[in-house]
Amino acid sequence: MWIDTHCHLDAAEFDTDRAAVVERARAAGVVQIVLPAVGRENFDTVRLLAHEHGFAYALGIHPLCVERAVDDDLRALSDALAEHRADPCLVAIGEIGLDHFVPGLDHARQERFYAEQLKLARRFELPVILHVRRSADTLLKHLRLTTVRGGIAHAFNGSEQQALAFVALGFKLGFGGAMTFERALQIRRLAQTLPAESIVLETDAPDIPPHWLYRTAAERAAGASSRNEPAELPRIAQTLAELRGVSLPTLAQLTSANARAALPGLA
Ligand SMILES: [Zn+2]
């Protein structure tokens, strides 16, 4: 029984066959999926989707959506959190964080939205789901200033030192399709050596396809799909099981327990 701790099930890529995607996930043994929001415009969508399928959701403003967000969206987030705080499907604030990889973004603006959302996480006593892209040290700096109830550093791709700093602050690290590429040496080394209790699994579907779904830019331009989906989680987990030398059932039990520890609302 698997938990996909990060899937954008509301993405347009799933518009034509969302019900079938959910069916396939269930058939593959994925019993729980966490649906993070990316901005005010999809707060209702992820909440309703989670309720429709018995999944979990998070509310937040994604760093890549900060450019088009307005300050009033933070108030809308605060209002939505106040309204749905007692909703058992609401398990975190997310997806929030910083993206220092995509060129041309306003870092100061991202940082302000991140800091404000950490304050909301503290006020509403919710864990956070973090987008970490070349930004681990700045994220950590804010987490030391505003203590929150831990959470998940999703699609983690930092150094071991940064990973352990997140762990020390009560965070789990999310691993997914990137780990299935043999050339992803740093991610695979972390997946292999981090403390067992610090790892959770995720697909980030429709993004971050595992190697068997990967298509080159030329193939995609020719119409090939590289869409990832939550039903891929057990096969992605197989890579982690091999890296760590544990059985799949042991890994399922371990990563599910870790997910519930990171996001207590899942329990
Ligand atoms: Zn995401």
Supply the DSSP symbol for 7: B
The rounded Å distance from CA 221 to ligand 1 centre is 23
The rounded Å distance from CA 265 to ligand 1 centre is 19
The rounded Å distance from CA 64 to ligand 1 centre is 10
The rounded Å distance from CA 249 to ligand 1 centre is 26
The rounded Å distance from CA 161 to ligand 1 centre is 23
The rounded Å distance from CA 151 to ligand 1 centre is 14
Label the pairing between strands 128-133 and 151-154: parallel
The rounded Å distance from CA 19 to ligand 1 centre is 20
> Collapsing DSSP states into helix, strand and coil, what is residue 205?
strand
The rounded Å distance from CA 94 to ligand 1 centre is 9
The rounded Å distance from CA 244 to ligand 1 centre is 25
Structural contact between residues 15 and 39, judged by C-beta atoms closer than 8 angstroms: no
The rounded Å distance from CA 6 to ligand 1 centre is 6
Structural contact between residues 214 and 187, judged by C-beta atoms closer than 8 angstroms: no
The rounded Å distance from CA 168 to ligand 1 centre is 23
The rounded Å distance from CA 8 to ligand 1 centre is 6
Measured CA to CA in angstroms, residue 247 lies from 26, 67, 262 at distances of 21, 44, 22
The rounded Å distance from CA 130 to ligand 1 centre is 9
**Per-residue tens of pLDDT for the chain, all 267 residues:** 999 999 999 999 999 999 999 999 999 999 999 999 999 999 999 999 999 999 999 999 999 999 999 999 999 999 999 999 999 999 999 999 999 999 999 999 999 999 999 999 999 999 999 999 999 999 999 999 999 999 999 999 999 999 999 999 999 999 999 999 999 999 999 999 999 999 999 999 999 999 999 999 899 999 898 999 999 999 999 999 999 999 999 999 999 999 999 999 999
The rounded Å distance from CA 224 to ligand 1 centre is 22
The rounded Å distance from CA 203 to ligand 1 centre is 9
Q: How high is the pLDDT of residue 254?
A: 98
Q: How high is the pLDDT of residue 10?
A: 98
Structural contact between residues 132 and 139, judged by C-beta atoms closer than 8 angstroms: yes
Structural contact between residues 212 and 222, judged by C-beta atoms closer than 8 angstroms: no
The rounded Å distance from CA 194 to ligand 1 centre is 22
